[in-house]
């Protein structure tokens, strides 16, 4: 029997908090190997070994050129910024590299470009790679259908002080899942801010509240508030390692696909 070849993975944003967690996860896995590491042009980590932060020698140097970074890779995991991810997407299409996207905050035009690219390469895109978060999404879908009348729905999320987009991509995805279960479009029923005399709450709306502070990795609660009772479904992350492990599950899932756009429900068999 021929030995199974490891999945050759490139990590984008390799010197960032999430990037370092991804590098560690790839190194520690039994079926993946670090084949490339990318970072922004201004990063002080350029030229360093990708495992230097952990005192590990990987032989992979962090660079800023996507073509060079992807030259020996079959997969790219990207948790960077929308503009960086789109640049990497184009390089992946040009070189036939499969892509795992954890970046959030894309514009509609950028989402359309990702969808178009998935006709050529396999892409898994999700605002949250945590297995627990995605099981929570499924629970929210079930709860929304059962609590479709008589309950007001609010999504509350909290993240660290460095997060640049709000609400979080995970919170928005939760809203989308709930809205779809109720036969609504989130664009038409979301309320992102309340201030002053707002009037009574529209019972068909889905509200969002955002907290930013400290080093909170990611907390999400969906409140279904009825008369005489309330149901709260909560997920709390204490480490980014769960996102990294979910990303590797996505790599394994994409290994058997040539093209198409997938999400974590597909990866976990929850669709």
Q: Is the dihedral angle over the CA atoms 209, 210, 215, 221 positive or is it negative? A: positive
Q: In what order do the strands lie in the sheet with 206-212?
A: 190-191, 206-212, 152-159, 218-225, 230-237
Count the Cβ atoms, other than its own, within 10 Å of residue 158: 20
127 phi and psi, to 5 degrees?
-70, -15
Omega into 78 within 30° of 0, i.e. cis? no
Distance of alpha carbon 62 from alpha carbon 120, whole angstroms: 27
User: Could you tell me which of 107, 112, 133, 134 has the C-alpha nearest to residue 123?
Assistant: 112
**What does the block give as tokens for 160?**
């660290």
The verdict on whether 163 is a catalytic residue reads yes
Q: Please state the three-class secondary structure of 159-180 as a single string.
A: ECCCCCCCCCHHHHHHHHHHHH
Pairing between strand 122-125 and 190-191? unpaired
Catalytic site residue from 7, 88, 159, 220: 159
The verdict on whether 160 is a catalytic residue reads no
Q: Which residues are catalytic?
A: 159, 163
């Amino acid at each position: 029997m021929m030995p199974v070849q490891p999945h050759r993975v490139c990590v984008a944003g390799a010197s960032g908090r999430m990037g370092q967690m991804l590098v560690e996860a790839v190194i520690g896995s039994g079926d993946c190997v670090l084949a490339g590491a990318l970072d922004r042009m201004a990063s002080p980590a350029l030229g360093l070994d990708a495992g230097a932060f952990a005192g590990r020698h990987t032989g992979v140097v962090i660079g800023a050129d996507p073509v060079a970074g992807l030259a020996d890779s079959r997969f790219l995991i990207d948790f960077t910024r929308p503009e960086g991810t789109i640049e990497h997407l184009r390089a992946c299409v040009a070189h036939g590299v499969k892509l795992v996207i954890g970046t959030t905050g894309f514009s509609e035009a950028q989402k359309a470009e990702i969808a178009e690219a998935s006709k050529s390469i396999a892409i898994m895109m999700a605002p949250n790679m945590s297995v627990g978060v995605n099981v929570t999404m499924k629970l929210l879908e079930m709860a929304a259908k059962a609590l479709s009348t008589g309950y007001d729905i609010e999504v509350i999320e909290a993240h660290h002080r460095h997060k640049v987009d709000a609400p979080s991509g995970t919170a928005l995805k939760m809203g989308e899942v709930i809205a779809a279960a109720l036969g609504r479009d989130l664009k038409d029923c979301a309320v992102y801010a309340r201030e002053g005399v707002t009037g009574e709450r529209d019972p068909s709306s889905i509200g969002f509240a955002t907290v930013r502070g400290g080093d909170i990795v990611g907390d999400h609660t969906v409140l279904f508030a009825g008369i005489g009772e309330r149901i709260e479904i909560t997920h709390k992350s204490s480490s980014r390692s769960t996102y990294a492990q979910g990303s590797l599950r996505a790599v394994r899932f994409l290994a058997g696909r040539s093209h198409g756009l997938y999400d974590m429900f597909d990866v976990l068999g929850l669709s």
